[in-house]
């Protein structure tokens, strides 16, 4: 696994020199966002908000290895199964929509429970 190399943060006064020293001690380079650029962190804040609302508000993380497992599992779900409005409801790794099913009585739907049922993924049975 690749080690962290930098920390991107804004210029909020809540971040003290002591805060920065902790990360410098671990050889992380601190990169500050541009001054008076409130929208500079919007993408990062959007991802963090999505993780909180869809995942971390509903599960208790018990340690670093558990956090890595949960985030990796969610990353797989997010990129392979979760619909994205900006991509016409396709996940990022999907190239085309699945074939539409017109006769629901003859098709079975299977559910896969992810993270103990926090997330459910559905697919047609073969």
- pLDDT tens by residue, 37-89: 777 778 878 888 989 998 999 999 999 999 999 999 999 888 888 877 777 77
Whether 3 is in a domain gets the answer yes
> What are the residues whose beta carbons fall under 8 Å from the beta carbon of 88, sequence distance 6 or more?
97
pTM: 0.64
Residue 32 belongs to what domain range?
Answer: 1-40
Closest among 57, 59, 55 to 77, alpha carbons compared: 55
Task: Tally the domains of the chain.
Answer: 1
Task: Quote the pLDDT of residue 73.
Answer: 93
Whether 26 is in a domain gets the answer yes
Whether 35 is in a domain gets the answer yes
**91, 75 contact by CB (below 8 A):** no
Q: Report in angstroms the alpha-carbon separations of 10 from 7, 17, 22, 43.
A: 10, 14, 16, 13
Whether 21 is in a domain gets the answer yes
Terminal Cα-to-Cα distance of the chain (whole angstroms) = 36
Round to whole Å and give the CA distance between 36 and 29.
Answer: 21
**Span 5-44, pLDDT tens digits:** 888 888 888 888 898 999 988 889 998 888 887 777 788 7
What is the per-residue burial (b if ≥16 Cβ within 10 Å, else e) of 109-126?
A: eeeeeeeeeebeeeeeee
Whether 29 is in a domain gets the answer yes
């Amino acid at each position: 696994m690749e080690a962290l190399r930098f920390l991107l943060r804004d210029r909020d006064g809540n971040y003290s020199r002591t805060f920065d020293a902790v990360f410098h001690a671990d050889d992380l380079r601190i990169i500050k966002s541009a001054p008076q650029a409130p929208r500079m962190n919007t993408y990062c804040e959007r991802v963090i908000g999505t993780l909180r609302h869809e995942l971390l508000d509903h599960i208790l993380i018990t340690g670093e290895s558990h956090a890595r497992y949960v985030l990796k599992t969610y990353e797989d779900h997010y990129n392979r199964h979760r619909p994205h409005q900006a991509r016409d409801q396709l996940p990022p790794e999907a190239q085309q929509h699945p074939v539409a099913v017109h006769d629901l009585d003859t098709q079975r739907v299977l559910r896969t429970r992810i993270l103990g049922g926090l997330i459910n993924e559905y697919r047609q049975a073969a």
